[in-house]
Amino acid sequence: MTKFAPITLAAVFGMALTAAAADAPATLPPASTKTGVTYATDIKTIFDASCVKCHSGDKAKAHLNLDSLAGALKGTKEGPVIKAGDSAGSVIIQSVAHTAKDQDDWMPPVDNKAGIKPLTADQVGLIRAWIDQGAK
């Protein structure tokens, strides 16, 4: 073994840890402590600003309409994206918090043509609170 072997092993091990950390999903922001969160009073404005450009109308992407409570609860052609009472298990939270493993599922997309910025931790937290409180 040469004198450089320990350094090489340390470097390879360090790169492996860095790669593993890059693959690990980020932590979800905590749910807001606000009570009485509803779609109409709290969530619609977030969805209107960041989501409905692509997720509304007859040609909504993934057939997900976020311009109404009924549309949000219905979900996509593949099923619901909201599990009332379980924000951490809701697909929509993983998407808007950018914790989904596949970056193609991040919403809004990182390089979207409309220049829509990612939701803030406070916005994600409010959506989490809404879902945890029953998504009403």
Domain regions of the chain by residue span: 31-132
- The residue type of 64 is L
Q: Whole-model pTM?
A: 0.80
Rounded (5°) CA angle 44-42-35: 150
Question: pLDDT tens digits, residue range 60-118?
Answer: 999 999 999 999 999 999 999 999 999 999 999 999 999 999 999 999 999 898 899 99
The residue among 135, 125, 108 whose CA lies nearest residue 31 is 125
Spatial contact of 92 and 83, defined as CB atoms under 8 Å apart: no
